[in-house]
Amino acid sequence: MARIGVGIIGNGMATRVFHVPYIQACDDLDLRAVVSRSGGEAPAAGVAIVPDVAALLADPAVQLVVVATPSGTHAALARQAIEAGRHVVVEKPFTLDLAEARELAALARARGVVLSVFHNRRWDTDFLAVRAAIETGLVGRVVHFESHFDRFRPEVRERWREDGSPGSGVWYDLGPHLVDQALALFGRPEAVGADIAALRQGSGSPDWAHIVLRYRERRVILHAGMCVAGGEPRFRVHGTGGSLVKRHLDPQEAQSVAGVRPGDAGWGVDPDPLIHIDGDGVERSIPAPRGSQERFYAMMAQACLGTGPAPAALDEIVAVQEVVEAALVSAREGRVVILPA
């Protein structure tokens, strides 16, 4: 069976750390070309550099297009690829506007192509550990769920993610991951309250976000900050039958930066266990399962071949965008945003 030709728009960190190694780990995918307007080196041997999107779409062998460019360009590039009849993966955030997200989802359905967003952190060790514990009833009914993406970067760096351009800032960067994981566990919330701010000196875009998702029987706290030395626990979960604490972040991004690849010894292995605390205060360590972010592209290939579901379905990616946007409205207007039933 012929492999699915893949082209990537963008040749930055996300392309080299995430998309290229994960695509190459999938036997059903053939990475053919990368769009790089400034030229430069190809991200991998045998991959062509092309100057623009038109050149990429001129290759009939490119059936799947990955949009890995600055956030403000995602919607227009995704639309261009869908209208050209290509399957599409979009880096998060999907779009900067909920209406646009809905329009793109409708367009993909109308054109009969697979459209998904790169929610790779569904396959993080930390999230897999917490999800399994919750689903097996280890802590009873969850009443408080807390998820952090914290870093210690007190100095503002010169890059588009921090310069105040459309789609920059920590909420657009990390918020979609936090929201996607929360919705995967608990579904859409009833309401969203948020405080989003730029707290570092000279920061051109928000670098701190604290969001509360309101559910009838629980509260979900999503937090991201750039001045957290040592970091807060990645997850805290409290329920009627006990609590969970997962201290450290999944290792796959750091492994990929260091040149470790899916299939290598130690890939996705997390030495940091999940801690379960029962009602008597007794602690027990639970080994974290192996992470497998490359699973995203294995599922994407199956979806393109018509043999399986997309790694993140259209309704799911629109729901994430709905909550991301509701948080921005809440922070801007100083009110809790009620989501439609």
pLDDT tens across 80-120, in order? 999 999 999 999 999 999 999 999 999 999 999 999 999 99
* pLDDT bucket at 49, cuts 50 / 70 / 90: very high
DSSP SS3 for 236:
strand
Which pLDDT score is estimated for 148? 98
CA torsion 232→238→241→243, rounded to 10°?
A: 0
Which pLDDT score is estimated for 223? 98
* pLDDT bucket at 308, cuts 50 / 70 / 90: very high
- Measured CA to CA, the distance from residue 322 to residue 186 in angstroms comes to 15
CA torsion 172→174→177→182, rounded to 10°?
A: -90
Instruction: Kindly state the tokens that stand for 178.
Output: 């936090």
pLDDT tens per residue across span 150-160: 999 999 988 87
CA torsion 18→233→170→21, rounded to 10°?
A: 0
Instruction: Give me the percent of the chain exceeding a pLDDT of 90.
Output: 92
Angle between helix 98-111 and 314-333 (nearest 10): 170
Q: Which amino acid does the sequence have at 226?
A: M
Give 66's strand partners. 8, 89
pLDDT tens per residue across span 182-216: 999 999 999 999 999 999 999 989 999 999 999 99
Does 1 have pLDDT greater than 70? no
Does 40 have pLDDT greater than 90? no
Instruction: Kindly state the tokens that stand for 170.
Output: 């920590």
93 cis-preceded (ω within 30 degrees of 0): yes
* Cβ 312 vs Cβ 177: under 8 Å: no
Which pLDDT score is estimated for 274? 98
pLDDT tens per residue across span 138-147: 999 999 999 9
pLDDT tens per residue across span 119-135: 999 999 999 999 999 99
Domains and CATH numbers, the chain: 4-120+296-312 (3.40.50.720), 122-291+323-338 (3.30.360.10)
- Measured CA to CA, the distance from residue 200 to residue 177 in angstroms comes to 22
Does 165 have pLDDT greater than 90? no
Which pLDDT score is estimated for 311? 98
Which pLDDT score is estimated for 193? 98
DSSP SS3 for 121:
helix
pLDDT tens per residue across span 2-26: 799 999 999 999 999 999 999 999 9
Instruction: Give me the percent of the chain exceeding a pLDDT of 70.
Output: 100
Which pLDDT score is estimated for 231? 83
Residue with tokens 């009969």: 112
Q: Which amino acid does the sequence have at 306?
A: G
Residue 327, by phi and psi: left (phi above 0), alpha (psi -120 to 50) or beta? alpha
Distances (CA, A) of 154 to 3, 36, 151, 192, 231: 45, 30, 9, 28, 13
Across the chain, what does the average pLDDT equal?
A: 96
Instruction: Kindly state the tokens that stand for 57.
Output: 């779409």
Which residues, 6+ apart, have CB-to-CB distance to 64 below 8 Å? Answer: 4, 5, 6, 7, 29, 86, 87, 88, 89, 300, 304
pLDDT tens per residue across span 254-286: 999 999 999 999 999 999 999 999 999 999 999
